[in-house]
Amino acid sequence: VTPTTASSFAARFAVLTTRPFARALERADRFDLCASMTLLLMLLYAGNPIRLKIAITILVVSAFVFAGLRRHPLFWFVLTAAYVVGSAPDWLKLDNHKYLIAYWCLACGLACLGEQPMKTLAFNARLLIALCFIFSVVWKLLSPDFMDGTFFHFSLLSDRRLAGVARAVGGLDADQQQLNRAAYRALINYNSQLTFVQLASTPSVKLLAGFMTWWTIALESLIAVAFLLPRPGALSAVRDYALLLFIASTYAIAPVVGFGWVLATMGFAQAGGPLRLVHVLYVAALLVLQLDRIPWQTLL
């Protein structure tokens, strides 16, 4: 079998296996798909406090059973209110994507009030993604310890999620990583009197940190600008792939699956027009994100 025939066979196999799913996606009501993705997001990643869990589960299950609720603005407003009231006591502990989920849920309700719900939802999705990345980039540009590479340098030395990359690319060995973790624990321990500890590093870690810094700034800035511009435009053609690249590259390392899920759902919602590859990729991203929960770093 030559490489050409092998790749042709693989392509044909991919088309045959994905076609039924693509057809199903094409036939489905786009707003209903977005609503279902959002409901699953709420069910799986809204949060753990019992005051939140009970209300969200009741509402989400109701909307899955009674399809009409998924297009009813009042349902979405009640869901948003239940989520906000349940999460508010923990506002200082919540990750940022929990806020984004609330805005998205509200946007679903507001879209139901519009003349063209899907169009309104798509507009909200595009703007929410753009704003989320704009603020993210602004914070990074304003943080001296991000811009000079310090943040990623420290993360590579101390964050378990980056331990595999630090070993493979940064040249740190297991003993150095163990020393760094011991130093960190010694500094923050309750009976410590230390004011500083020395971490083990390598020149390659510093180089890698520099690359990660500029890669992050470049990709997030591209997403922010591309999603801010309405279609059609030069940047808008690549924005979906940029967002998918961000989801794939970021959440493989920092598995914040809820954040990836809300971004993929909003990405799917704003990608208008007839079914295209990006629609399929956004749905696939929801599934692939689950694989990020496997602790790859410990398996390396």
Partner 1 sequence: VRGLLRLLVVAVSERAIPGAPGAEPRAGALGHEWRIPREWVLRLAAPSLLVAVALGQFWLAWTVGLSPWKGGGFGMFSTVDAPSARFLRAHLLRASEEIPVLIPEGLQSLALETRTLPRREGLTRLAERLAGGTWVPYRFTTAVQRYLDLSGFPDLSRWPDRDPTDTGGWSDDRPIVFSGVPLLRMLGREEALRLAGDPEAFERVRLELWRYRFDAGTARLRASVMLEATADRPDQ
Name which of 13 and 215 has its Cβ closer to partner 1. 215
Per-residue interface string for the shown chain with partner 1, residues 58-97, x marking contact by CB under 8 A: ---------------------------------xxxxxx-
Tally Cβ neighbours within 10 Å of residue 13. 10
C-beta of residue 112 within 8 angstroms of C-beta of residue 138: no
x/- map, 236-275, partner 1, by CB under 8 A = ------------------x---------------------
Three-class HEC string of 210-231: HHHHHHHHHHHHHHHHHHHCCC
DSSP 169: T
What's the Rg (C-alpha) of the chain? 22
Residues 210-229 that bind partner 1 (CB under 8 A): 216
Q: DSSP letter string over 52-96?
A: HHHHHHHHHHHHHHSGGGGG-HHHHHHHHHHHHHHHGGGTTT--H
| Closest separation in Å from C-beta 16 to partner 1 | 40
Region 190-209 residues binding partner 1, contact defined as CB under 8 A: 190-192, 194-201, 206, 209
Q: Which of 101, 30, 35 is nearest to 72 (CA)?
A: 35
Query: Out of 22, 25, 118, 131, which residue is the one contacting partner 1 (CB under 8 A)?
Result: 131
Give the integer Cα–Cα distance in Å for 43 and 56: 7
Q: By rule CB under 8 A, what string of x and - marks binding of each residue 135-174 to partner 1?
A: xx--xx-xx-xx-xxxx-xx--x-----------------
**Max CA pair span of the chain:** 67
- Give the whole-angstrom CA distance, residue 31 versus residue 183: 52
Q: Choose the stretch contacting partner 1; rule: CB under 8 A; options: 29-37, 63-71, 124-132, 280-288.
A: 124-132
Q: Nearest approach, Cβ of 80 to partner 1 (angstroms)?
A: 9
DSSP H or E run through 266: helix 257-270
Residues that bind partner 1 (CB under 8 A): 91-96, 99-100, 103-104, 106-107, 110-111, 113-115, 120, 123-124, 127-128, 131-133, 135-136, 139-140, 142-143, 145-146, 148-151, 153-154, 157, 183-184, 187-188, 190-192, 194-201, 206, 209, 216, 254
